Amino acid sequence: MQPTPSWIESANDPAGGFPLDNLAMGVFSETDGRKRLGVAIGDFVLDLSRLEEEGLLALAGEPVMNRGAWNGVMALGPAKWDEMRARLRELLGEGAPHRPAVERALVRRAGIRLHLPFDVTEFTDFYAGRHHAENVGTMFRGPENALPPNWLHMPIGYNGRASSVIVSGTPVRRPWGQIKGRDFAAPILSPSRRFDFELEMGAVIGRPSRPGEPVPTEEAERMIFGYVLLNDWSARDIQAWEYQPLGPFQAKATATSISPWIVPRAALAPFRVPTPPREVPLLPYLAEPHPMGLDIALEVALVADGGEEVIISRTNARELYYSFPQQIAHHTLSGCPMRVGDLVGSGTISGPTRESRGSMLELSWGGAEPLELPGGITRSFLEDGDEVIFRGAAGGPDLAISFGECRGRVLPAIEKPFWME
């Protein structure tokens, strides 16, 4: 597959990641700070509010592109998403009409600021990666209890916080919490000493479901507006003490970073792959009528101590045992309604090898095997000042569909307030 040709030269670079076949969606501003919707194309972002003003893009009876979030467009529904995509492909393709006007709506990506692309109304985090679940289970409960008894029968997850979802580039403060070491008689109050990242994908729900109505997987897939990279920052020491019996709470509540670009579901349709072979048959409501996994190459880079960037993990979203449509089908089984702006995290995506593990907890095996980085630096967990960078792309050397980056730097914990002494 080659990129669909565009009159924007940089969009035709097979390795560029932002061809006409992607049209990743973001919210951007320039120096005046005015937020509006745009799509990435080559080295540019196309200002959709300007196209709308010029009468070249009209999805609704009123302007929807001069907003600070994509939720308004999402709420118009999948037929309008398709209409927008077809129109943009027409305006950016070879032999396009209105080219001078479209050219005036192009802004160089190098000079813009990117914001959280949508208002996150809800956040659920699943645990759909088998290698991660087995690795963590082995460390926390031993190899014989690695996978919980329910794991092979349903995608398990927990309801997270929408309030702490932040956009790539926003720094993250090391959290305080209750920590209890194995040899401590009682917990202590401390900044987390085992602060970590989790390499995940996120699905952005663009179409709601009704209360009380379970959604089949095929329908669930059509509710997805697009996908983002997601870093579910995690404090492992806080988690170890608090997680039984109700699951993680404060350990996962500090921050969740997402990439500024939402890659449309339509752009990833050619990269659907079957989920891994089932070890036990699933109940019929989790059946996949066609391949619903996603072939997306993922990598994690670490900049430790302001030093050089090192790739510490490479994996693929196809490792997820449960697809997003299965996660959503299970989520709605109880009648739980999904909302426009709902964010569904996949859970950490680790591969089968050491080099493909998606968290520091796994990469350093709980601190027993610290990572050795150039310059004699070692890391078991994240230190203050460390920066974590996720990158992801579907496709190959002929045609890359990029997610861009999801990055975040760890800031020191706040100073202990007097009332915590």
Which residues are known catalytic residues? 132
CB-CB neighbours of 143 under 10 Å: 10
Q: How far is the CB of 259 from Mn ion (least distance, A)?
A: 16
Question: In this chain, which residue has its C-beta nearest to Mn ion?
Answer: 232
Query: Among residues 196, 198, 221, 362, which is the contact residue for Mn ion, using CB under 5 A?
Result: 198
For residue 193, what are the contacts with CB-CB under 8 A and spacing of at least 6?
179, 237, 381
Whose Cβ is closer to Mn ion: residue 22's or residue 124's? Answer: 124
Whose Cβ is closer to Mn ion: residue 35's or residue 132's? Answer: 132
Q: How far is the CB of 414 from Mn ion (least distance, A)?
A: 24
Whose Cβ is closer to Mn ion: residue 198's or residue 288's? Answer: 198
Pairing of the two strands 44-47 and 36-41: antiparallel
CA distances from 11 to 2, 30, 82, 106, 161 (A): 11, 21, 20, 12, 36
Number of residues that this document lists for the chain: 421
Q: Which stretch binds Mn ion (CB under 5 A): 66-74, 124-132, 267-275, 302-310?
A: 124-132
Q: What are the b/e assignments for 322-336, b being 16+ CB within 10 Å? A: bbbbbbbbbbbeeeb
Q: What DSSP string describes 231-250?
A: EE-EEHHHHHHH-TTT--SG
Size of interface with Mn ion, in residues (CB under 5 A): 3
For residue 183, what are the contacts with CB-CB under 8 A and spacing of at least 6?
none
Cα Rg of the chain, angstroms: 22
Whose Cβ is closer to Mn ion: residue 232's or residue 362's? Answer: 232
Q: Which stretch binds Mn ion (CB under 5 A): 15-23, 159-167, 232-240, 282-290?
A: 232-240
Q: Which stretch binds Mn ion (CB under 5 A): 190-198, 235-243, 307-315, 334-342?
A: 190-198
Q: How far is the CB of 26 from Mn ion (least distance, A)?
A: 23
Helices and strands, number each (H, E), in the chain: 10, 26
Q: Interface with Mn ion includes 122 (CB under 5 A)?
A: no
The answer to whether 379 and 298 are in contact (CB under 8 A) is no
Return the residue matching tokens 């996962």.
Answer: 252
Whose Cβ is closer to Mn ion: residue 47's or residue 319's? Answer: 319
Q: How far is the CB of 345 from Mn ion (least distance, A)?
A: 6
CA 411 to chain centre: 21
Whose Cβ is closer to Mn ion: residue 198's or residue 319's? Answer: 198
Q: What is the dihedral of CA 87, 89, 94, 98, to 10 degrees?
A: 30
Query: Among residues 122, 125, 237, 288, which is the contact residue for Mn ion, using CB under 5 A?
Result: 125
Q: How far is the CB of 248 from Mn ion (least distance, A)?
A: 8
Phi and psi for 39 in degrees, rounded to 5? -120, 145
Whose Cβ is closer to Mn ion: residue 65's or residue 133's? Answer: 133
Q: How far is the CB of 337 from Mn ion (least distance, A)?
A: 22
Show the site string, 82-121: x = touches Mn ion by CB under 5 A, - = not: ----------------------------------------
Q: Which stretch binds Mn ion (CB under 5 A): 193-201, 216-224, 271-279, 407-415?
A: 193-201
Return the residue matching tokens 């203050």.
Answer: 384
Query: Among residues 122, 232, 242, 362, which is the contact residue for Mn ion, using CB under 5 A?
Result: 232
The answer to whether 177 and 250 are in contact (CB under 8 A) is yes
Q: How far is the CB of 137 from Mn ion (least distance, A)?
A: 14
Within residues 305-334, the interface with Mn ion by CB under 5 A covers none
Q: How far is the CB of 390 from Mn ion (least distance, A)?
A: 13
Helices (H), 158-316: 217-222, 236-242, 265-268
Whose Cβ is closer to Mn ion: residue 16's or residue 347's? Answer: 347
Cα four-point dihedral sign 78, 83, 86, 92:
negative
| Residue ranges in contact with Mn ion by CB under 5 A | 125, 198, 232
